[in-house]
Amino acid sequence: MTLILSNEDVSRLLTMPDCITGLEIAYRELAEGRGVSRTRSDTYAPTSRDDALYCLKSMDGIAPHLGVGAVRINSDILTWPQDGGSTRRVKAPAAPNARYVGLVLLFSTETGEPLAIFPDGVVQRLRVGAANGLAVKYLARADAKVAGLLGTGWQAGAQAMAAVAVRDIEVLRCYSPNQARREAFATEMTTQLGIEVQPVKTPEAAVDGADIVMCATNTIDPVFFAQWMAPGMHVSAVTRRELGRDVIDRADRVFLHTPAETPINTLSAGVVLPELEKGKGWRVTQAVDFAKLPLLTDLIAGRATGRATQDEITCFINNLGLGYQFAVTGALLYAKAKATGAGRDLPTDWFTETEHP
């Protein structure tokens, strides 16, 4: 049978510590080249709306030690609203019942069969959080107690969960330009994490004195700047665009998630992406050779050196996600779902064939 799981199933079955532990083991396989990931691709075309583009995004990965491969697909209606001085990349929930479209298909490497199909929403933030959590685990000071969070959306929640999973965080300060959102987030996360989460009115108030700063926004403009960096700080971002120029120069050690600088972008004629235009500027203004930065996976596998002193400033840029992450977290999810009888069983024959593909 092929298992159809929902986000409710995923939320119930998969914890942040599970994902951190699973990815920590798996990233060694990835560092050694046994695990494989096909670089994410974003394919863009016009829609009938002047203010929106269609983006078909996909990424594949295989985790041999878990016997699974995964494809993660997003079918997005994208908009770029201006919000004050900055531009955000926003997905419109345009599917029936005002829903988004993201799917993970999990396959067996032994039989090829589709083991499970599930929406990507919960898993995707868990794996982003887990990756940045691993960076905190390997790079932040062991005695880090104060964390600053820029962003209070879906991704930001996972960043907070991850920081708390790997360090004894006592205070988490969160900033969003939207007062109602940051206050609701603080209330919700205080309950969920059991620590003090403070909403703050400026980004400076979030980062000043923080041992760990985590950026988790959907802006395509920088939100964290070099002048805010202080000795001993660990900084992380969920996109490279969040970091202002000179942040990489100022940091003592910078790690990337993956060597690919950008997705494989394929654009319909005439399509212009705001973030690609800005991204060009970003690249030019950075003096550091992006391709030579060490990877988080190398750090975890003991192939790269992490923080050497209490005063060093460390930085992790989750520059691009990996299909491999969905294989690993998908395998953990699938095992738990099978063990607990979760999900809907559909006949695997519906998704396989006798004709030669």
Contacting its own copies within 269-298 (CB under 8 A): 269-270
At closest approach, how far in Å is the CB of 187 from its own copies? 20
Out of 120, 214, 257, 342, the only residue in the binding site for its own copies (CB under 8 A) is 120
At closest approach, how far in Å is the CB of 209 from its own copies? 31
At closest approach, how far in Å is the CB of 219 from its own copies? 15
How many whole angstroms separate alpha carbon 265 and alpha carbon 277?
13
The 73-102 contact track toward its own copies, x by CB under 8 A, reads: xxxxx-------------x-xxxxxxxxxx
Residues 6+ away with beta carbon under 8 Å from 289: none
Out of 22, 61, 148, 279, the only residue in the binding site for its own copies (CB under 8 A) is 61
At closest approach, how far in Å is the CB of 271 from its own copies? 9
Nearer of residues 264 and 335 to its own copies, judged by Cβ: 264
The 142-181 contact track toward its own copies, x by CB under 8 A, reads: -----------xx---------------------------
Nearer of residues 26 and 144 to its own copies, judged by Cβ: 26
How many whole angstroms separate alpha carbon 25 and alpha carbon 76?
32
* Residue-by-residue DSSP string for 33-93: TSSEEEEEEEEEEE-SSTT-EEEEEEEEEEEGGGTEEEEEEEEEEEE--EETTEEB-EEE-
Out of 33, 84, 85, 194, the only residue in the binding site for its own copies (CB under 8 A) is 33
User: Binding-site residue total for its own copies (CB under 8 A)?
Assistant: 80
Residues 6+ away with beta carbon under 8 Å from 25: 65
Out of 105, 169, 214, 320, the only residue in the binding site for its own copies (CB under 8 A) is 105
Amino acid identity for residue 339 in this structure: A
How many whole angstroms separate alpha carbon 119 and alpha carbon 6?
6
Nearer of residues 105 and 210 to its own copies, judged by Cβ: 105
How many whole angstroms separate alpha carbon 212 and alpha carbon 252?
15
Residues 121-140 that bind its own copies (CB under 8 A): 121-122, 124-125
CA angle 150, 151, 153 (to 5 degrees): 160
